[in-house]
Structure 1
């Protein structure tokens, strides 16, 4: 199993999973809880597998988000709804969005492959994945495929945090360099909650390290980000190795038309295409 094939498989399922972050149905579901804090629903739903998580736990596991942004949302979200209610709101809204765009596709074969890959994932050193690995699977097959993407995503994300820390990139430095590498700077700068002063200081640290200049990432910056991604890929192979190369390649092929329909719908930003 090559890391490149594993990355392609993750990128395929990731396209379905990130519907939870962009679909208007999901934001409307969060709005009904009446918590005015920015990204309150995101923090509540994604951390709900921990139970009523303390802000410090969310800061530690989400890594690139400003502690101040988290503190404005958590624990206020738990006063507005239980973790189970937030998780259910996200799941049901994602189901509505997926079926709106994709209809009723036959996902039986790809779901079997995805669940086999998930069966090969381990929880050691993966706090968000470990928490979600105990959650019940939805009944709807398309939502089951989304849930498989969630598990793969959180497992990989935990490993990505490890890779960022090993590279010596603090949260803002990770966003500055990662945004330049993926073309998502505007998105991450406006959604992760860091002040202009904090962002500027992070850019300065990256300049001092020779990672960025006026033209964007330097050769050293590109090399460091490539190393971060390569480390993340190596740490994310286990589930796909369990499935096997043939099954993994088959999964990529089966998800491809669903992925294209999601992009064609305009629901997702185009920079997500670079994932996988």
Structure 2
């Protein structure tokens, strides 16, 4: 396959599959499982559950790999989380939450042949992932595979997502965008979180957001309406292209036909979970992640 075409395919597959992974960040089952494991209610479950496969890491490692979160917000929860529940217990709680959430959102479709087919294809795609320079992916890749098809699918999508995310972080750093500027410019594309949700969920104050916006405006990347200038739009476009280029491994391994089939299956299943209310309103600029 042509490299540019593979990059475009990687982007399409990511968009089709992402909602199936992202249910874990909004499902009430997640909060229930994390607090039952011993964690405190609120953001602690998110930071602990996503970083737990890397072990009992400190706030610096979480900040480096999650990238666009306020260090102050992370430090409120990590490393205290590990004094309340060890990483293995948190990982088990996360898989339990994914299991319960997907069963609820997919309903009878959770046992459909399409889920098993998608799981087989997604797992095959992960064989094209490599660990070099991918710390968050590498941690998740060392976990044991679950046995049930819907959890195999969810875990495979998680691996594909964190593999792409690690590459994206490297691209952002190479293009000179730190965590908060990266978030501000992403919001300005109109394809991600709405501004209020971005600030609240990532832990940035209004003043910190305003300061970053002023710096980006002075750099010519935003205009006085806080929208991307031609230079800013070009930078975000370049970042997306480079992220796609860094994400070709899984899709080269899977091949064009199988990748297209996985995207088709993922898109259908994603629409099912979105229709079932997986995501709250007024969070994303277009209603739900990547749909």
| 8 Å Cα contact 2:35-2:41 kept in structure 1 | no
Secondary structure at the aligned position of 1:122 is classed as: coil
Q: Which runs of 5+ in 2 are unaligned?
A: none
User: Which is further off, 27-36 or 153-162?
Assistant: 27-36
Alignment-derived partner of residue 146 in structure 1: 154
Query: In the superposition, relative to structure 1, how do residues 232 and 116 fare at CA in structure 2: closer, same or farther (>3 Å)?
Result: same
| 8 Å Cα contact 1:6-1:237 kept in structure 2 | yes
Alignment-derived partner of residue 105 in structure 1: 112
Distance in 1 (alpha carbons) for counterparts of 2:238 and 2:207: 28
Alignment-derived partner of residue 180 in structure 2: 172
Per the normalisation by structure 2, the TM-score is 0.90
Following superposition, the deviation at residue 50 of structure 1 comes to: 1.1
RMSD over equivalenced CA pairs, Å = 1.7
Per the normalisation by structure 1, the TM-score is 0.95
Following superposition, the deviation at residue 16 of structure 1 comes to: 0.6
- From 270, 279, 288, the equivalent of 1:259 is 270
Distance in 2 (alpha carbons) for counterparts of 1:115 and 1:31: 30
Correspondences of 1:189-208 after superposition (within 5 Å): 189-208=199-218
CA deviation string 1:63-83 (max 9, x = no partner): 111111111101111111010
Alignment-derived partner of residue 48 in structure 2: 44
| 8 Å Cα contact 2:37-2:93 kept in structure 1 | no
| 8 Å Cα contact 1:13-1:255 kept in structure 2 | yes
| 8 Å Cα contact 2:69-2:179 kept in structure 1 | yes
CA deviation string 1:19-52 (max 9, x = no partner): 1111111122223355447511111011101111
CA deviation string 1:66-116 (max 9, x = no partner): 111111101111111010111111111111111111123222222111111
Distance in 2 (alpha carbons) for counterparts of 1:142 and 1:40: 26
Following superposition, the deviation at residue 57 of structure 1 comes to: 1.0
Following superposition, the deviation at residue 6 of structure 1 comes to: 1.3
Distance in 1 (alpha carbons) for counterparts of 2:97 and 2:65: 24
Q: Which runs of 5+ in 1 are unaligned?
A: none
Query: In the superposition, relative to structure 1, how do residues 123 and 142 fare at CA in structure 2: closer, same or farther (>3 Å)?
Result: same
Correspondences of 1:177-192 after superposition (within 5 Å): 177-181=185-189, 182-184=191-193, 185-192=195-202
Is 2:98 the partner of 1:87? no
Following superposition, the deviation at residue 12 of structure 1 comes to: 1.9
Correspondences of 1:1-276 after superposition (within 5 Å): 1=1, 2=5, 3-33=7-37, 35-36=39-40, 38-103=42-107, 104-106=111-113, 107-181=115-189, 182-184=191-193, 185-215=195-225, 216-268=227-279, 271=286, 275=290
Following superposition, the deviation at residue 188 of structure 1 comes to: 1.5
| 8 Å Cα contact 1:38-1:73 kept in structure 2 | no
| 8 Å Cα contact 2:31-2:42 kept in structure 1 | no
